[in-house]
Amino acid sequence: MHIVMLVFPQFTQLDLTGPFEVFARMPDTKISLAWKTTDPVTDGNGLRIVPTVDFDHCARADILFVPGGFGQMALMEDEATLTFLRRQAEGAQWITSVCTGSLVLAVAGLLTGYRATSHWQWIDQLTLFGAEPVRERVVIDRNRITGAGVSSGIDFALTLAAQLHGEPTARTIQLSMEYDPAPPFDGGSPGKEDPKIVAYLNDRLAGIAGERQAAAERAAARLRDGAD
């Protein structure tokens, strides 16, 4: 089973490394970290990751995975990356994402007509590309599996492991990771958190929210112009 995980500048490392930890524990699995070059890329907080293969030399994926992060905005206008994802998706058994990685899949035309999720702050942008937003932690629609924000990547990957290898194997991986969440606060989603904290975070990200909305609208307009 060959898993191709996209990496790119300004991705969110836990979107990638949470699922990677699960995938690496699955039997008979090879993982490729793919980008345009094999030069190191830096995530949104300064962590450097080295891609293992460039786009031109990446073998066909059985599972295609896209993480999110603020670099997602640039990818929505990056035809080389979108072409790579479309090409890899043609032969993939599963097409997957975590967080705003779903928006990259969506602008590539890979979620049109599918139910999908994303980070709660950006999920509604999926409608611009013909996907149906679903506010759940993990969403499965045919051979698409999408995870919500950042930390949901482990849940997503365990769900996929169960699809591929059965629940006992997925549960064994979960146990081996001692993944038994007991968060210190009963928050983490806007429906649970103090509205003042939700408002504070929204205010803090107001600038980037405008940029993300503009990037999504530009990408959607290009797709409409292309269809015309």
> Which of 99, 106, 150, 219 is flagged as catalytic?
99
Best CA proximity match to 137, nearest among 154, 161, 112, 113 = 154
Which string of DSSP letters, residue by residue, matches 31-95? EEEEESSSS-EE-TTS-EE--SEEGGGPPPPSEEEE--STTHHHHTT-HHHHHHHHHHHHH-SEE
User: Cα separations (Å) of 7 from 51, 136, 172, 202?
Assistant: 7, 24, 27, 27
Per DSSP bridges, beta strands 2-6 and 63-66 are parallel
The yes-or-no answer on residue 58 being catalytic is no
Per DSSP bridges, beta strands 132-133 and 115-116 are parallel
State which H helix or E strand residue 133 sits in. strand 132-133
In whole angstroms, give the CA distance from residue 200 to residue 35: 35
In whole angstroms, give the CA distance from residue 202 to residue 79: 30
Catalytic residues: 99
